[in-house]
């Protein structure tokens, strides 16, 4: 017969597995792009800058903002190689985390007088991006639209190579909710 501790432990494991299996709806946010003042590409995985450049070429905005533009994947050189003209690129070079991406891009948005942005990040990352950006921008009238760079199949998070990404994203999401971003880079 199971003891209380074992029952609770088993319930926690089962609960975690259920959440993990349905992770897609917790992590993925992918809205239809809208016309905006700027397209904001967050640093990170391959595909983010390519998606931002694609949206730029389709005419969703006349400017592209590269957040953490000193990191590979969102540099000025890479953006111009994708056909985005240098005068249409705004560089944000201070961010070190998703939270600081939001803080520094908000500052640039206000300085530039922008009222709207299409925020581009990876599909698995976008749920946390939206939570952080909505909190950071809540005292503004800036309209944000969230567009994922890679549309993965419905069970991408069960793939062996992506399980670690999913687990890390859950941990970072929980850490952000707990306010740990004030003490560590998330």
For residue range 90-136, list pLDDT tens digits in order: 999 999 999 999 999 999 999 999 999 999 998 888 889 999 999 99
- The residues spanned by each domain of the chain are 29-150
Average pLDDT of the chain, as a whole number:
85
* Residues 68/79, Cβ–Cβ less than 8 Å: no
Identify the pLDDT of residue 27. Answer: 64
Q: How far apart are CA 45 and CA 107, in angstroms?
A: 24
CATH class assigned to 29-150: alpha beta
For residue range 134-166, list pLDDT tens digits in order: 999 999 999 999 999 875 555 555 667 677 777
Give the number of other Cβ atoms within 10 Å of residue 10's Cβ. 11
Q: How far apart are CA 156 and CA 31, in angstroms?
A: 19
For residue range 47-90, list pLDDT tens digits in order: 899 999 999 999 999 999 999 877 887 899 999 999 999 999 99
């Amino acid at each position: 017969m199971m003891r209380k501790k074992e029952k609770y432990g088993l319930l926690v494991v089962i609960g975690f597995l259920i959440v993990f299996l349905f992770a897609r709806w917790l992590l993925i946010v992918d809205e239809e792009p809208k016309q905006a003042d700027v397209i904001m590409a967050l640093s990170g995985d391959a595909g983010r800058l390519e998606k931002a450049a694609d949206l730029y070429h389709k005419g969703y905005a006349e400017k592209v903002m590269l957040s953490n533009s000193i990191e590979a994947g969102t540099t000025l050189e890479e953006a111009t190689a994708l056909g985005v003209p240098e005068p249409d690129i705004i560089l944000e070079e201070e961010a070190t985390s998703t939270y600081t991406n939001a803080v520094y891009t908000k500052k640039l948005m206000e300085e530039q007088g922008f009222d709207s942005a299409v925020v581009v990040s990876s599909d698995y990352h976008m749920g946390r991006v939206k939570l952080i950006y909505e909190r950071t921008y809540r005292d503004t009238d800036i309209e944000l639209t969230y567009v994922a760079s890679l549309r993965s199949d419905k069970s991408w998070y069960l793939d062996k190579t992506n399980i670690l990404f999913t687990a890390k994203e859950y941990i970072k999401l929980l850490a952000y909710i707990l306010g740990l971003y004030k003490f560590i880079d998330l």
